[in-house]
Amino acid sequence: MADRYDIAIVGSGPAGISAAINAKIRNKNIIIFGSKNLSAKLYKAPKINNYLGFPEISGEILKKEFEKHLDKMNINITYERINAVYSMGDYFTLMVNEKVYESTALILATGVEYTKSIKGEEEFLGKGVGYCATCDAPLYKGKIVTIIGYNNEGEEDANYVSELASKTYYLPMYKGEYKLKEKIELLNGKPIEIKGNNFVSKLILNNREIETDGIFILKDSVPPGQLVPGLLIENSHIKVNRNMETNIKGCYAAGDCVGRPYQYMKAAGEGQVAALNAVAYIDSLKKL
């Protein structure tokens, strides 16, 4: 049995950090998942003029200030990527490959996905298009599979799939050295459209067409609707109310993932609101 945390926070940008700090102040047992950079967008910001109290600060310095704050509060970020979160009724199960975490409440602070979807991607989702190659690969035994990888983790998945599929294509969306098995055919080009009748049959690239039965699209981050199955999305953002509650009981969301404007202070404020409401939710469960 995994230890059950009071609150699990997914994302270490301003919304996630602010949620973590506020939940910790309220003495909750928390876990926060994120990256060493905290947030790639924050780290890369040249100059920030609208973060109260820090005029003309660079993203890199603001990130260091956030880190100092986290250290002072004894909050450690868990550098793991959550693949999926399942709402089990009165708790959540968070999956990191084969590893499992549990929490009573959940705060999503995943930011926004800038990777635009490919034409046909949504239409054929579950009908040949998938986001988890290792999950569905056995269903493509003896078939043709194409993997579109947005980072080098895709190479490992392609190697795995190639053991089952009759033919595997790999289309990298990044530059680098590709560690692929010999039988995998490397594509270069841009994906334009996914085509088929009821099921996927073709991937159209700018320079050629590929006949394929399945297409796995492996992005840097999983869109929130895929990350938490059953989560209500509206206009490509997570739908929340003023308490930052989503449609799933005990699940909150904050920051860019809930909508515009995409700003640090808004994110931090929402993270705080989400954390305080998550705390109230947990306390209400304990009274029952």
Partner 1 sequence: MIKEVMDNNFNEEINAGNMPVVVDFWAPWCGPCKMLGPVLEELEREYEGRVKFIKVNVDNNPIVSQKFRIASIPTVMVFKNGEVKDQIIGFRPKDAMKEFIEKHI
Contacts with partner 1, residue ranges (CB under 8 A): 84, 86-89, 93, 95, 125-128, 130, 135-136, 138-139, 198-199, 214, 229-230, 248
What's the Cα-to-Cα distance from 97 to each of 82, 85, 110, 134, 135, rounded to whole Å? 8, 11, 18, 10, 10
Q: Least CB distance from residue 252 to partner 1, whole Å? A: 15
Q: Which is nearer to partner 1, 213 or 256 (CB)?
A: 213
Q: Which is nearer to partner 1, 46 or 89 (CB)?
A: 89
Q: Which is nearer to partner 1, 90 or 177 (CB)?
A: 90
Q: Among candidates 271, 5, 219, 28, which has minimal Cα distance to 113?
A: 219
What is the Cα–Cα distance from 47 to 44, expressed in whole angstroms? 9
What is the Cα–Cα distance from 12 to 236, expressed in whole angstroms? 20
Helix residue spans in the chain (DSSP H)? 14-25, 40-44, 59-72, 133-136, 153-162, 224-227, 264-287
Q: Which is nearer to partner 1, 213 or 270 (CB)?
A: 213
Q: Least CB distance from residue 19 to partner 1, whole Å? A: 22
Alpha-carbon dihedral sign for residues 15, 19, 25, 31: negative
Q: How many CB atoms lie within 10 A of CB 136?
A: 16
Q: Among candidates 170, 154, 158, which has minimal Cα distance to 203?
A: 170
Q: Which is nearer to partner 1, 25 or 95 (CB)?
A: 95
Q: Least CB distance from residue 195 to partner 1, whole Å? A: 15
Q: Least CB distance from residue 25 to partner 1, whole Å? A: 30
Q: Least CB distance from residue 248 to partner 1, whole Å? A: 6
Q: Which is nearer to partner 1, 14 or 128 (CB)?
A: 128
Q: Least CB distance from residue 105 to partner 1, whole Å? A: 14
Cβ proximity of 10 and 106 under 8 Å: yes
Q: Which two tokens stand for residue 94?
A: 């968070």
